[in-house]
Amino acid sequence: MFLKKAVSCSPSWTHLDKIAVYAVRSFSSGVTESATDAKTPAHASVFKKQSKVMKAYVERSKAHNEFMKKEEQAYNIGKRHLANMMGEDPETFTQKDVDEAIEYLFPSGIFDKRGRPSMKPPQEVFPPRKDAQFDETGRPFHFLFYTGKSNFYDILHETVARLYELNSMEDALVKSRKAIKPTEFDLSGSRWLSKSELETLMVETLTGYEYRNYVKALERLVAHSLSYTQKEFIMKQRKVLLDVTKSYVVAEPQEGPDGRLYVTTHECPRKSARATVTVIKPGTGKIEINKQGIDFFSTIQARNQVPT
């Protein structure tokens, strides 16, 4: 309406008006409040927009929430039934109890655990969805939205930004004639996030080519002589591998009442038997088992095994 008015006011309108009028018309695909509405003020078409996109999103999210609510109710009823079947209190019946009950009631010979029957809360069964990525005019939040993989490409963008930052730091150091001592920080004990880990983190699916590019870009950042300043960012892209080796601590000898050193080890296993063993130094060569000598064991084989 505003536009029509502007045009009719000036009979000799210029080419630029025409361009802009076309431009405005092309935006109107995303505008539900059409400019033909006589009641809206003249400038509403320029400044107040409600987008079809947002409307569609609100509808979708409403449908999804309703579905999840229904699933949640079904899960709770199922849980109560299970508790009653198992003869337990439905109020204190936990997810662990549910898993055990299912395992008991539906025994399965399937090797793969994911193939066996299960009953999980709907939040775990249905994957999380991305929230609305745009505001009420339909304008996306993320500046790389139109790539379709905004989170992934954002990391690549940040990597390059940091690399340029390091380059300028290095230039400043060279200018000030300070010697750069190459400090490498230790990357051992950690590895890059795997493709699937990265995908779950980004909530985006990646191709092998894209994942290789990601690793290459990060390795380039690591290879920089000042990369230790970006340790925090780099370690976010890596997974620390924990050591699982058991520590073996040698017991300290203690002094007995008679001045001799001794070491006592409890819970020494032999099949289902458990023994407590005390070794004394300096010893006398005597072996005592349950207040008897080595002949406590009747077989030769057992007697041979005792000192080893």
Partner 1 sequence: MHFFINQVRKCGCRLLKIGRNPPLYRNYSIPKAGVNSIGSVDQSNENIQLPKVLEHPDYFEVAKLFTISDLFNARVHLGHREGSLDERMKPYIFGSRLGHLIIDLDKTSELLTAALNFTAHVAYRDGIILFISQNPQNSFMVEKLAKEVSEFAHTRYWRLGMLTNSTMMFGAMTRLPDLIIALNTLTTVLDEHLAIKEAAKMGIPVVGIVDTNCNPNLITYPIPGNDDTPVAVNLYCSLFKAAILKGKQKRKEHQKYLADTEPTISS
Residues forming the site for partner 1 (CB under 8 A)? 2-3, 5-6, 9-10, 12-24, 26-27, 29-30, 41-43, 46-47, 49, 51-53, 56-57, 60, 134, 137-140, 143-148, 153, 157, 160-161, 164
State which residue, 3 or 86, has the beta carbon closest to partner 1: 3
Of the two residues 17 and 88, which places its CB atom closer to partner 1 in the complex? 17
Residue 269: which H helix or E strand, with range? strand 261-270
Nearer to partner 1, 15 or 181 (CB): 15
Peptide bond into 253 cis (omega under 30): no
- Taking the least distance from each CB to partner 1, the nearer of 104 and 141 is 141
What are the residues facing 265 on neighbouring strands? Answer: 277
* CA distance from start to end of the chain: 100
Query: Which of residues 106 and 141 has its CB atom nearest to partner 1 in the complex?
Result: 141
> Cβ 137 to partner 1, closest distance in Å?
7
Say how many C-beta atoms besides its own lie within 10 A of residue 82's C-beta: 20
Closest to partner 1 by CB, 23 vs 240, is 23
Give least dist CB 222 to partner 1, A: 19
Among 236, 55, 227, 43, CA closest to 138 = 55
* Residue the block writes with tokens 């002589």: 225
The pair of three-digit structure tokens given for residue 100, joined into one six-digit string: 């055990």
Q: Report, in Å, the least distance between residue 20 CB and partner 1.
A: 4
Contact 245, 235 (CB under 8 A): no
Instruction: Give the nearest distance from C-beta 59 to partner 1 in angstroms.
Output: 10
How far, in Å, CA of 11 to CA of 257, rounded? 118
Q: Least CB distance from residue 244 to partner 1, whole Å? A: 40
Contacts of 119 (CB under 8 A, 6+ apart): 75, 78, 79, 82, 98, 99, 102
Closer residue to partner 1 (CB): 139 or 281: 139
Write down the least CB distance from residue 178 to partner 1, Å. Answer: 27
**Minimal distance, residue 42 CB to partner 1, in Å:** 4
DSSP H helices, the chain, are 2-9, 15-27, 44-47, 52-86, 95-105, 122-125, 150-175, 195-202, 208-222, 231-236, 300-305
**What DSSP letter does each residue of 207-260 carry, written as one string?**
-HHHHHHHHHHHHHHHTSTTGGGGHHHHHHTEEEPPP-PPP-PPPPPEE-TTS-
Shortest Å, Cβ 148 to partner 1: 6
In terms of CB distance, is 14 or 284 closer to partner 1? 14
